[in-house]
Amino acid sequence: MDNNFFKDSLDKKVIEQRVSAISQAKVGFYSIGLYPASLAYNSAMQKSNKSLLLATRPGRSLLGAFSEEEIKGMDPRHLVKMRRMASHKENGKSVPNTLEYLIAKCDLIVLSSNSKYIKQDLDQACNLRKKLGRTNVVLSCLAGSFNHDEANNESYVLCEKYPNLAFFSGFHRHGSLRDPVDSFTANFCHPNSLTALIGAHILNQLSPNIQVSPGIHNVEAQYLKAAKNMASIFAGFGYVYHEQNPGILPTLLTLLLHQCLDQAATVSMSRQDREKLYTQQTIALTELGYAIPRIEAVLNKGGFTEKVRDHTFSQLTAMVADVRGSMMLPVTGKPTRNFQAGQALAYGMSKHGRCPIDVKEFEQWCKDAGLNVGSLEGLKALKYWPQIEAKYSIQNHDASMVNLLYKGLYGTEEEKDFAFEVMTQSRELSNYCQESVRHTHSRKYAEALNHIEQLEALELISNAIIADNARKAIRNNDNPIEERELNSDTPAYLRAIDSIEQ
């Protein structure tokens, strides 16, 4: 999919004319929802609405994401401006904007659909660009979940399937964008640095309260948003259920953050265009705002090193802030919707003394808490988690928290019992946080130290010390100690880890 602001022309005059036109570019938000509608309100509140156009999906309301109470608290003048953004005149009559109208009038389109609709909206937008001869309109999305191919029963990150699709996102707290003095940051990511730079510049004009920075890591940014939506559920659960156990929260939240970043860094390694991403850029990454060109993690595998993660994207401050902010309980206002779903999970598990019988029961708990289940992207992402974990070869020690949450919602009855015990008992949860991040290989040695009286354990540790003294790498130890048979006396956190690894 071609997706850039310029045609393949070397004519300087043509390029200069296009650059001048882009300085007056319009942005279009299609489908609408809480995040883009709040941005539009902020734009109307801070300046004129000439640079922003809106179009709702058929059947959706412009302000449908807001409650009646929230709408009553808005300035009627700003609402009038928003409605002007969403309509235009035809034959002297006001008619609602459509996706086709946005593509005809705008240079940058943000498809704000969720994971259920984004694929069909993207296909429609590409067809309309071709039909209207507007192939230099750049398309972007902000869907924070995984897509699923029903025919092939395959889940994937949309930006990986469409490598040139831009991704736009930042942290949005309920109500923050309707505050005249509050501000927020965002990233506009496109694998071409020039397109990213221009797109961020255009979006940055929407409001003085909005600071948008460019980035090239669209795949990682979209994955990170889906991962943090799942992690936010666990964070919301932790804040409520362990309110009286504040010692566990820092460990839990730190692990949730780090695992989101580590998973995205693993996904980054699978990019088909990874080398090209860094070596074929017109503008150096340091000129986009990256501190250094590349951050890679390596793993020592028996005397040689192998690149296992690419953390370069972690320099996207707004995306990392999005992860952190989504796992925080605000001083005022409401937390994110996925965080609220986690709170509902905590209340339900506390009330019933168990995990939800199935996902439908959990969805009912969310509805009872006043949440729209259709807007819970974290729950949608969790549904496809096993396929995503397998597709991108994400290791258990990089995803132990989401694995535990998955077992609590989708596991067998026995797995739900393990998950409940671990999630609700502070000591079990802290032990799980400590042990589950170890590689399976490394836990072999920890287990040996706990059972040093066993001959096999003593031999394993002795061999490791001898090898270390000789400065030789330990290669594929073929004589690990036998794993202990799990029984009713085995701590719940170990049974949960074993269940996940199996």
Q: How far is CA 307 from CA 302, 338, 387, 396, in A?
A: 14, 33, 23, 18
138 neighbors 3 (Cβ within 8 angstroms): yes
CATH annotation of 225-287+304-438 = 1.10.1040.10
pLDDT along the chain (502 residues), means of 10: 86 86 91 90 80 94 90 92 94 95 97 94 97 96 93 95 95 72 90 95 90 97 97 97 93 96 97 94 94 92 83 96 91 88 98 97 97 93 96 94 97 95 96 83 61 74 69 45 58 81 75
Please check whether the domain covering 12-223 is classified as CATH 3.40.50.1100. Answer: no
Structure-block tokens of residue 140: 């972007």
How many Cα atoms sit within 13 Å of 408 on the Cβ side? 27
Instruction: Report the candidate in 395, 382, 474, 391 with the shortest Cα–Cα distance to residue 436.
Output: 395
Structure-block tokens of residue 174: 């309920």
Please state, as a whole number, how many other Cβ atoms lie within 10 Å of the Cβ of residue 120. Answer: 10
Give the predicted TM-score (pTM) of the model. Answer: 0.88
**Distance of alpha carbon 401 from alpha carbon 385, whole angstroms:** 12
How many Cα atoms sit within 13 Å of 384 on the Cβ side? 24
**Distance of alpha carbon 280 from alpha carbon 254, whole angstroms:** 35
243 neighbors 80 (Cβ within 8 angstroms): no
| pLDDT of res. 304 | 78
Structure-block tokens of residue 172: 């949005």
| pLDDT of res. 475 | 42
| pLDDT of res. 410 | 96
| pLDDT of res. 413 | 95
- In the chain, where the domains are located: 12-223, 225-287+304-438
Q: Cα 233 to chain center, whole Å?
A: 12
| pLDDT of res. 479 | 47
